[in-house]
Amino acid sequence: MIRWVRILVIFLLGFGVSIFAQYALRFRSFPGTGILPEVTREATPTATIRASVETMTVKRVIDGDTIELADGQRVRYIGIDTPETVHPQKSVECFGVEAKEENRRLVEGKTVQLEKDVSETDQYGRLLRYVYVDSVMINDVLVRQGFAYAVTFPPDVKYQEQFRQAQIEARENNRGLWAGCSLGTINTPSPIPATTRSNESNKDCAIKGNISASDERIYHMPGCGSYDKTVIDETAQERWFCTEEEARAAGWRKAKNCP
């Protein structure tokens, strides 16, 4: 009888040591030492984005949606617009100074990650990018906190729905310019979701990239016979182009009824 009791005691002691060892390996310390358990961190969408973008330092902030990098290049934030402070033909607009100062607080002198959408630069030669600091998208922050509002300029529409929701949140909570400015002083257009721009000519990207019923990719120039009746559905991977070179490079051909 005593023999079986000894065997049982040895078994229980061995089991207890095993459990304790697993606990110690998981936590690498006893509770109360201030050392947190080791956690496996899965990759996030932002981490995936950051692996594919440029990393640069911001030399200075020009206004609420434009910065200058250490190498002298200027970057215009995609998908947002802020009230003007430096426009040669406009006076300083309501909440423009506040937007510039907030942008300065967020990025000036810091290392940022720059994510490209479709376009490389705008008509002024500025890089078009989504800007991140420590995995936080500054474009989104400025809209969500009421320092900017969402605008859509095809073909750069990757995060248009995210920005639209950010603006709704800012407006419903009276943040920033939505509380500090009357609508009459916000001298900017309301955002238009890209999918509703079907029969409109964007002043910078007016070429319509249509996909036919036979899956042929055809672009239509303003003045082409079928231009006005061509409807662009971006949810079906149709898109707008700024130049013919861009359309051809993306695999679209020119419509036969174009001059």
Residue 236 included in any domain = yes
More confident residue, 67 or 213: 67
Active-site residue, selected from the candidate residues 84, 93, 98, 115: 84
Give catalytic status of residue 108 as yes or no. Answer: no
pLDDT of residue 119: 92
Q: What is the tens place of the pLDDT at every residue in 182-220?
A: 654 444 443 333 333 433 434 458 888 888 877 788 988
> Which of the following is catalytic: 50, 74, 104, 126?
126
Task: Give phi and psi for 124, each to the nearest 5.
Answer: -100, 5
Render pLDDT for 49-59 as a digit per residue (tens, 0 to 9).
444 689 999 99
The DSSP output letter for 147 is S
- If we measure between CA atoms, which residue out of 104, 122, 167 comes closest to residue 140? 167
Verify that 94 and 24 share a domain, yes or no. Answer: no
**Tell me, what CATH number does 101's domain have?**
2.40.50.90
Residue of 71, 158, 148 lying closest to 103 (CA atoms) = 148
Number of domains making up the chain: 3
Rounded to two decimals, the pTM is 0.55
- The answer to whether residue 84 is catalytic is yes
- In the residue annotation, 126 being an active-site residue is answered as yes
The verdict on 174 and 230 lying in the same domain is no
- Residue 199 sits at the vertex; the CA angle it makes with 197 and 201, to the nearest 5 degrees, is 80
Longest Cα separation, the chain: 104
What would the mean pLDDT of 144-162 be, rounded to a whole number? 91
Q: How confident is the model at residue 25 (pLDDT cuts 50, 70, 90)?
A: very low
Same domain, 74 and 88: yes
Give 86 or 98, the one with higher predicted confidence.
Answer: 98
pLDDT at 154: 86
Shared domain check, 210 and 93? no
Give me the domain span that covers residue 17: 1-40
- Residues 97, 64: Cα–Cα separation, whole Å: 8
User: Residue 243 and residue 93: Cα distance in Å, rounded?
Assistant: 32
CA distance 215 to 224: 20
Report the residue count for the chain: 259
Q: Does residue 146 share a domain with residue 77? A: yes
